[in-house]
Amino acid sequence: MNTDGQYGSVFKMNLGWMAASWCEAGVCRVILPRESPELAWRELEQETGGRLLRGRAHPGLEAAVSAWEDGDDAGLRGLVLQAGVLGPSGFQRRALEAMARIPRGQVISYAGLARAAGNPRAARAAGGACRSNPVPLVIPCHRVIASSGDLGGFAGGRRALTLKTALLEREGVTVSGRRVPREFWGGSEEWP
């Protein structure tokens, strides 16, 4: 992705320092909370190739994250993403679009995500879509877990599963011993 004309900024949330890049066409990349602003910025630079105009905050992202922390996802769901940020058409894009529909306070399994994206046998590919999500939190990949109820993986850095747990708990999901009880699965079995 060409990063010419992309802005980058770092901001504080309750769970740590986030970073994001954006251009006039929309949000391009989000880095989940890190321990310091330097770590968040460094990861953003790595993800974008380092050609960012630093300092100009996105006109709405920080407020949307703050509202998310207070229990309201509407701001995150309303953010415009840069065209192409979800990738070309195909399974990965459909999986990211399905992830975006997972309600706050609920989870889905990788297998359930694969079904929602149109390929019930592509649970590993659904995990790959989660791993390559360019805008975590905006597209809530932290809401995808293993079919066993285990948290599964998470691409959140060294503290990955601790961060995934914190994000889910912030949304009212109980996590006990790395597992999410069935009551948070959005229905009798899984989120549709």
Q: How does pLDDT run across 35-87, given as a tens digit for each residue?
A: 999 999 999 999 998 889 987 889 899 999 999 999 999 999 999 999 889 88
Distance CA 161, CA 150 (A): 11
- Could you give the CA distance from residue 79 to residue 126 in angstroms, rounded to a whole number? 23
Q: How far apart are the first and last CA of the chain?
A: 32
Pick from 147, 151, 148: which is nearest to 162 by CA? Answer: 151
> Does residue 130 carry a catalytic annotation?
no
Give the pLDDT of residue 59.
87
The owner of tokens 């309201």 is: 72
| % of the chain surpassing 90 pLDDT | 77
Q: What does the pLDDT read at residue 90?
A: 93
| φ, ψ dihedrals at 185, nearest 5° | -85, 15
User: Would you place residue 158 in the very low, low, confident or very high pLDDT band (cuts 50, 70, 90)?
Assistant: low
| Catalytic choice (23, 28, 130, 141) | 141
The values of phi and psi at residue 150, to 5°, are: -70, 155
| In contact, 127 and 153? CB cutoff 8 Å | yes
Per-residue pLDDT, 56: 81
- What letter represents residue 90's amino acid? G
In three-state secondary structure terms, 34 is strand
Whether 2 has a pLDDT exceeding 50, the answer reads no
Please give the mean pLDDT across all residues of the chain. 90
What is the rounded average pLDDT of the residues 176-182?
Answer: 92
Strand partners, 86: none
Residue 188 has pLDDT above 50, yes or no: no
Q: How far apart are CA 179 and CA 169, in angstroms?
A: 12
Burial of 169 (0-12, 13-18, 19+ CB in 10 A): exposed
Cα gap 73→49, rounded to integer Å: 30
